[in-house]
Amino acid sequence: MAAPTTTTQEEQASPPQEPKPYTVTLIPGDGIGPEVVDATVQVLEATGLLFEWETQEAGAEVVGKYGTALPDQVVTSILKNRIALKGPVATPIGTGFASVNVTLRKRLGLYANVRPARCLPGIKTPFPNVDLIVVRENSEDLYSGIEHVVVPGVVESLKIITEVASTRIARHAFDYARTNGRKKVTAVHKANIMKLSDGLFLDCCKRVSREYTDIDYEEMIVDNCCMQLVTRPQQFDVMVMENLYGDIVSDLASGLVGGLGVTGSANIGPDATVYEAVHGSAPDIAGKGLANPTAVLMSSVMMLRDLNETATADRVEKAILSVFSKGKYLTRDLGGTATTAEYVSAVIGAMGA
């Protein structure tokens, strides 16, 4: 008779699980895009987390290859992975293909663009203690792209504002404020002139504000808001606005905290989030190794937080801030002389410390 087989407790336990990588759609984009995205990938890989990068080509430089700046597979990949890290993409001015960014936001339903701007240690700025968040409506307004020539010399461009989109973005801003311990939401508008469109946006914000009695609410006309931003920016906390104002005001806010090289963003929808810098493809410095990758890096920190990788997000952010505090490896846009590669090495070095 065969002896009964015995199994040890160790054999019974299931084998240790390999950590699963995060699959992320990676869009290098145009101009400085590949440089700043590659820099960010280097930092993320140095964290020890596992990533599977699904690289997708989009932008002005691939039109010849695919006949479009936004091949369908880019959208498919993002919808499958639900997250994308994107470099800037160039858009021709006045003529040519429609903006990849606007099209991507529309096709993926990325209705909210969250753009934080906050002073960083060691970076000289006109004002101390700026720490604000622009929540930009991302799906309509003048970016609907509905334009036509009425008669030669007269062009009509339609501004679309809907109750659904305005209510949704207002709620996003208040939810963001509540979740992130913020105290106030400012709705920015021009309802004194565009009484119907901006009037509707403002009504929606006002209505939503009544559901959030724990968050202060105020309204400000966009021109006054710009003046206030360049005289007393510390008064702002979370700001919510339509697409065009959000585009402009968030660049202005970047200028208050060190420029376009340092501000990241997230384009958020129900099916996917696309993380990208606020800046564009910067053709003037592309290919020279001079680009500041902080904006995409900060966007990747937002991505890590959304993935609940809070400790890693904190580690990357602290490393960036420590490099800034020391001031030795700043890129040219911040008054330093470091190349992209030198800055990235410094950040990776600071992460290990």
Give the interface with ligand NAI as residue ranges (CB under 6 A). 32, 36, 88-91, 101, 260-261, 276, 279-285, 291-292, 295, 333
Q: Which H or E run includes 179?
A: helix 163-179
Considering the complex, what minimum distance in angstroms separates the CB of residue 333 from ligand NAI? 4
Q: Which is nearer to ligand NAI, 186 or 300 (CB)?
A: 300
Contact 290, 342 (CB under 8 A): no
Our answer to whether residue 38 is catalytic in this structure is no
**DSSP string covering 238-273:** EEEE-HHHHHHHHHHHHHHTT-GGG-EEEEE-SS-E
Question: Which listed residue (30, 141, 237, 251) is catalytic?
Answer: 251
Selected catalytic residue, list 176, 190, 217, 329: 190
Q: How far is CA 60 from the centre of its chain?
A: 20
By beta-carbon proximity to ligand NAI, the closer residue of 139 and 209 is 139
Instruction: Respond yes or no: is residue 159 known to be catalytic.
Output: no
The least distance separating ligand NAI from the CB of residue 316, rounded to whole angstroms, comes to 17
* 143 is an active site residue: yes
CB of 100 to ligand NAI, least distance (A): 7
Of the candidates 111, 141, 143, 329, the residue annotated as catalytic is 143
- Strands in 22-27's sheet, in edge-to-edge order, are 51-55, 22-27, 83-86, 273-277, 264-268, 112-118, 131-137, 238-241, 184-189, 216-221
Looking at the Cβ atoms of 186 and 250, the one nearer to ligand NAI is 250
Nearer to ligand NAI (CB atom), residue 161 or residue 291: 291
- Residue 229: CA count within 13 A, CB half-sphere: 28
Q: Are 30 and 88 in contact (CB under 8 A)?
A: yes
CB-closest chain residue to ligand NAI: 280
Least distance CB 299 / ligand NAI (angstroms): 10
**Residue 255 amino acid letter:** G
Active-site hit among 183, 206, 223, 314: 223
CB of 166 to ligand NAI, least distance (A): 23
d(CA 24, CA 41): 11
Q: Least separation, in Å, of the C-beta of 284 and ligand NAI?
A: 5
The active-site residue out of 86, 247, 333, 343 is: 247
Phi then psi for residue 4, to 5 deg, are -60, 140
Are 25 and 276 within 8 A, CB to CB?
Answer: no
* Catalytic status, residue 251: yes
- Whole-angstrom Cα distance, residue 158 to residue 143? 9
Active site residue 275: no
Smaller CB separation from ligand NAI, 279 or 315: 279
Whole-angstrom distance, CA of residue 149 vs CA of residue 343: 48
Which residues, listed in sequence order, are joined to residue 184 by a DSSP beta bridge? Answer: 216
Quick one: which of 92, 39, 107, 24 has its CA closest to 61?
92
Nearer to ligand NAI, 103 or 292 (CB): 292
Q: Which residues are catalytic?
A: 143, 190, 223, 247, 251
